Structure 1
Amino acid sequence: MSALELAGYTHVYSGKVRDLYAPLDDAGEVVPDQLLLVASNRLSAYDWMMAPEIPDKGAVLTRLSLWWFDQLADLVPNHVVSTDVPEAVAGRGVLVRKLDMLKVEAIARAYLTGGGLEEYREKGSVSGVELPEGLVDGSKLPEPVFTPTTKAPVGEHDLPMTPAEVEAEVGAEVAAEVSRLTRAILARGNEIASARGILIADTKVEFGVSPDGSGGLVLADEVLTPDSSRFWPADLWEPGHPQPSYDKQFVRDWLTSAESGWDRKSGEAPPELPARIVEQTRAKYVEAYERLTGQTF
């Protein structure tokens, strides 16, 4: 993952799918309170980086996040400062406030599937939240539930966190607010998306706070994108089996299919994605963007 050379910026960090740069002032010193967040076309699944990359993915996620930040502005402030960025990253770079990020992956679920379904089948609950009996894959939950995980380094797995562990990490007051806001963001997301033919089954959001401790929680990173959420076509929703999706679940499904020949438990890197899977993944991301925003990509 080689970083770009951007005039006026210095490379700080590259994560699974994002690159961070610090702006420099006229004297060549790092501007302390801002970062340039660049969404790459990289795609990660099952904690592995996929090859090849998905064309336009970074631009789709950036545009969609910016659109959602506007829809959520009355619920929670966000980290966006400006979209005036170097030409080399135009469309997928955003200048943002530098925050101290909470070490919690804030996840809310409106429908039961994936890891939440596995835990429910085992315990009848998800992240300590008791759920009604008789739920199946794709069941709508009575209301969105907060199911946080740890924020693991690249190459390691995020692990479920109990409410007590979240409180130990960020304090009771912040933990309660993270839970409230995460569920409110998913509820607002579904209000808007369901009118446009998409159900948001679950989502992951990230929060930070100002380094000086002023103000409350700030929504950061990305929000309600096909990378951070499960998007289902509303007209095809049918509990009882996995749902078709507009997100990277499509890639996960190929990886675990007989065609890929990959054993997820082997510890070996997955195979390269076939060209048609790459093309279809791009098409799904673009379709989700266009259906949600009503804008042509």
Structure 2
Amino acid sequence: MTALHQSQIKSLPLLARGKVRDMYAVGDDKLLIVASDRISAFDVILDDPIPGKGQVLTELTQFWLGKLAHVVPNHSTGIAPEDVVAADERDQVAGRAMVVKRLKPVMVEAVARGYLIGSGWKDYQATGSVCGISLPAGLKQASRLPEPIFTPAAKAEVGAHDENVDFAHVVAEVGQDMAEQIRNVTLRLYSEASAFAAQKGIIIADTKFEFGLDAEGTLHLMDEVLTPDSSRFWPASEYAEGISPPSFDKQFVRDWLETQPWGKTPPAPRLPAEVIEKTAAKYREAVTRLTS
């Protein structure tokens, strides 16, 4: 499979390139979002793409948008990406792009956690709480929480780490009513998705959602949804407390990079073929298990 490191759509105005996605304007009120095969680790975009990754992210996002549409409106328009680009550009968008509503982004990462891992585990070890939410004593790495919690993060500039914040920060950003709506929707999305994934033998340890507002101020779910890039998916059969369970994502990449003499600033080391292949296989396994 040929990997797409960067799309080159000339028939539409390019608006931005993120870590993974390239955004183009479709008129004044829509966007074309192309999920490339780029991969980032420790907030650094690597030179080596993961073949097929963009298709996996897009397929999973569309799957979850359909399954969770009853919870909150989303940015999907249903317009085929092939219909908005030139004929010789269609191969760049096939299976990896969406035409979406152009929304005003809410500048908060909406994170839901059901398990204590990652930055949440680090915060808990230091303070006994996560994002200002006190948790019981004696929890271990990867412990299941008594109930899912909303642990927002402040969006960082490109290349910087998002910073965990408390609910009061969200209120200051968007107001009390919108903050409560975002928290409630985030936890409901997470709970429904987690229950579904559990039937497929997958634990969703945590996930982050992005939201935007339309011209009327209605909250919409946008960007990627419940993918291996935005979530920690663990095989239930391999879950245990006290360890960082294996995951359906770029953990192979992170683990390999941790063994390298590298200061976690660009440029990153080049990935060996074995790491690329294992990572691609994990992404494919996630979409197969969830959508089959």
| TM-score bracket for the superposition, by shorter chain length | over 0.9
1:58 equivalent in alignment to 2:60: no
Cα shift at 1:83: 4.6
Residues 20 and 102 from structure 1, CA distance in 2 versus in 1: closer, same or farther, beyond 3 angstroms? Answer: same
CA distance in 1, matches of 2:275, 2:18: 23
Let me know the Cα RMSD of the aligned residues.
1.4
Cα shift at 1:241: 0.9
Of the candidates 132, 153, 157, which is equivalent to residue 157 of structure 2?
Answer: 153
Residues 268 and 73 from structure 1, CA distance in 2 versus in 1: closer, same or farther, beyond 3 angstroms? Answer: closer
Alignment-mate amino acid for residue 73 of structure 1:
A
Q: Partner of 2:14 in structure 1?
A: 11
Q: Partner of 2:78 in structure 1?
A: 82
Q: Is the 8 A contact 2:7 2:36 kept in 1?
A: no
Q: Partner of 2:179 in structure 1?
A: 175
Cα shift at 1:175: 0.7
1:234 equivalent in alignment to 2:236: yes
CA distance in 2, matches of 1:122, 1:75: 35
TM-score by length of 2: 0.92
1:243 equivalent in alignment to 2:245: yes
SS in 1 for 2:164: coil
Of the candidates 104, 128, 137, which is equivalent to residue 124 of structure 1?
Answer: 128
Q: Partner of 2:203 in structure 1?
A: 199
Structure 1 stretches of 5 or more lacking a match?
A: 24-30
Count of matched residue pairs:
280
Q: Partner of 1:68 in structure 2?
A: 64
Structure 2 stretches of 5 or more lacking a match?
A: 83-89
**Which deviates more from structure 2 when the two are superposed, residues 226-235 or residues 270-279?**
270-279
CA distance in 2, matches of 1:169, 1:155: 22
1:209 equivalent in alignment to 2:213: yes
Stretches of 4+ aligned residues off by more than 6 angstroms: none
Cα shift at 1:254: 1.8
CA distance in 1, matches of 2:58, 2:25: 18
1:165 equivalent in alignment to 2:169: yes
1:38 equivalent in alignment to 2:62: no
TM-score by length of 1: 0.91
1:93 equivalent in alignment to 2:104: no
1:138 equivalent in alignment to 2:134: no
Q: Is the 8 A contact 2:44 2:266 kept in 1?
A: no
Q: Partner of 1:284 in structure 2?
A: 282
SS in 1 for 2:22: strand
1:250-269 deviation digits (Å, cap 9, x = unpaired): 32122113xx33344xx463
Cα shift at 1:213: 2.7
SS in 1 for 2:81: coil
